[in-house]
Amino acid sequence: MVTVCHEPTRSWPALAYAPAGGHHHSIPFDPWRPLAWWLARTRSRFKPVVEALTALPLVLPPTVLGFYLLVLFSPNSTFGGFWVQVTGETLTFSFTGLVIASMIYSLPFMVQPLQSAFEAVGRAPLEAAMMLRATPLDRFFTVAVPLAKRGFLTALVLSFTHTLGEFGVVLMVGGNIPGKTKVISIAIYEHVEMINYADAHVLAAILLVFSFATLLMVYTLNRRFPSGGHG
């Protein structure tokens, strides 16, 4: 099923990841933002079901998720076949497929901070906006989103850094193709497997420093945003 390309390579895997990271974080926002909004406000009895589904990638072994995604993305499946028809490309072993898989994998990291940020905003400021003639969509963009800013930042960075370190799903769906779907975390694994500790050290250090710097930035910025609610 999965052919993992073990071709030893000196090509710089970080370059392969750069588009993945840059591309990735702007996409997952938009499908998950309405979902988080719905979860924060709904009184539906299906809320626990949706919440459980949302949290699933958190507990599921990445290989299980990767396996199902691989099956789903396969050109022989309905979805994968439809994708090939529409775009002319397969989702498996492609960068696009990797992005979609990452989005699903990082779903809880995106939705949960957003949901709690929206919950923290509460009804009060939205009622105030209602009484200032703001329509529902207007209220969402001018009151809920800005007041949930902290949650957005957390969601963005958590899912981004989480995706940076993902392994199983990427390996299953992306196939570790150099220059295309090869990511740092897998490259480190390869280096270690081949007892090439020097290169593993370099990449591991890059990830360490980068992750720390990102988190530091989030926590610093967090102090400058209102924590939701109203004044």
Partner 1 sequence: MLLIDINIKYQNFTLQTCHTILASGVTALFGRSGSGKSTLLRVIAGLEGCAKGRVVWGDEVWQDDSHFTPPHKRGLGFVFQDSRLFAHLTVAGNLAYADKRARDLPGANLDEIVDALDLGPLMARHPATLSGGEQSRCAIGRALLTRPRMLLMDEPLAALDANRKAEILPYLERLRDRIGTPILYVSHNMAEVTRLANHLMLIDAGRITHSGPLSALLADPAAAPALGPQEAGAVITATLTAHEPDGLARLQTTTAPLFLPHIEAPLGSRLRIRILAQDVIIAREAPAGLSALNILPAEISQISGDDGPAVMVQLRAGDDLILARITRRSASALGLCIGMACFAIVKSVSVAPAHIGPDHNTSHQRP
Strand, helix or coil at 230?
coil
Confirm or reject binding of residue 130 to partner 1 (CB under 8 A).
yes
Residues in the chain: 231
Confirm or reject binding of residue 44 to partner 1 (CB under 8 A).
no
Widest distance between CA atoms in the chain: 66
Kindly state the smallest distance separating residue 122's Cβ from partner 1, in Å: 10
Confirm or reject binding of residue 224 to partner 1 (CB under 8 A).
no
Query: Is the Cβ–Cβ distance between 207 and 230 less than 8 Å?
Result: no
Residues 133-162 vs partner 1: string with x where CB under 8 A?
xxx--x---xx--xx-x-------------
> How many CB atoms within 10 Å of residue 129?
18
As given in the structure block, the two tokens for residue 14 are 């970080």
Kindly state the smallest distance separating residue 216's Cβ from partner 1, in Å: 24
Q: How many residues bind partner 1 (CB under 8 A)?
A: 22
CA neighbours within 13 Å on the CB side: how many for 97? 32
Distance, in Å, from the CA atom of 151 to the CA atom of 147, rounded to the nearest integer, reads 9
Among 45, 86, 198, 231, binds partner 1 (CB under 8 A): 231
Kindly state the smallest distance separating residue 148's Cβ from partner 1, in Å: 10
Which residue ranges make up the site for partner 1 (CB under 8 A)?
Answer: 124-125, 127-135, 138, 142-143, 146-147, 149, 226, 228-231
